[in-house]
Amino acid sequence: MKPAPTKYRHLFFDLDHTLWDFDANAKESLTEIYNIFELESKFVSPFEFFYSTYLKHNAILWDRFEKGYITSEELKWKRMWRTLVDFRIGDEKLAKEMSAKFLEILPTKKRVFDYTFEILDYLTEKNYSIHLITNGFEKTQWSKLNNSALAKYFTHVITSETSNSMKPQKEIFEYALKKTNGNIEECIMIGDNLNADIQGALNAGMDAIFVNHIKANHSFKPTHTVYHLKELEFIL
């Protein structure tokens, strides 16, 4: 099957959970944190319970951060602190040390989703302008891109810090259009998050491809849906 003709020139990818396998990389990093800080000896056990507790607090605090209720610095250390508190360890200093080490280790991880490099090579050969729009922290996201050998594929990397806005806010998409000098009719967002990536792009008037790696059920109506990155070849 040949790819369908496309009107698009600018492709805006999300990074975490779309190309870069955040869950696998975070779990690997948290395993190292667990061992470095000898959490088992502090009665934080087993690891899987520590991990699931962290994920719960991380999700809650990211939601609060994206809604503007807390700062990025609060997010970074309070997700560790809240996790420790659940294990009856109210140690703010330890939480901040764990957070700093986690943010040092995490961007060095290199796991990407199956077919990531192949699809980026394919799209590069098709002469698309490929960019990123990410809510991640500037320094952290660039470290991920450089360490995983993804940086070379992207012309522009738009983060929430550089744009002073966050997906799904319309402003970050408008900033991306100005940065890339793109016409919205020729642009498409590609991401895994139905609210931030898909609804955000659609609200801004941009088409969107939902990368449904986990085959989630939903009621959204993206422009396209794929379940594997290879399927992008039939759209682009």
Distance CA 145, CA 163 (A): 18
Distance CA 144, CA 16 (A): 10
> Do residues 73 and 125 both lie within one domain?
no
The CATH number linked to 184 is 3.40.50.1000
For residue 202, tell me if it sits in a domain: yes
pLDDT (0 to 100) of residue 123:
98
> Do residues 57 and 160 both lie within one domain?
no
The CATH number linked to 93 is 1.10.150.240
Distance CA 49, CA 33 (A): 14
Total domain count for the chain? 2
Phi/psi of residue 26, nearest 5 degrees:
-70, -40
pLDDT (0 to 100) of residue 219:
87
Per-residue pLDDT of the chain (236 residues; tens, 9 = 90+): 445 557 999 999 999 999 999 999 999 999 999 999 999 999 999 999 999 999 999 999 999 988 889 998 999 999 999 999 999 999 999 999 999 999 999 999 999 999 999 999 999 999 999 999 999 888 899 999 999 999 999 999 999 989 999 999 999 999 999 999 999 999 999 999 999 999 999 999 999 999 999 998 888 899 999 999 999 999 99
Domain boundary among 75, 108, 141: 108
* Pair of tokens at residue 10: 């600018």
> Do residues 83 and 126 both lie within one domain?
no
> Do residues 38 and 141 both lie within one domain?
no
Domain that residue 45 falls in: 23-108
> Do residues 128 and 93 both lie within one domain?
no
pLDDT (0 to 100) of residue 1:
45
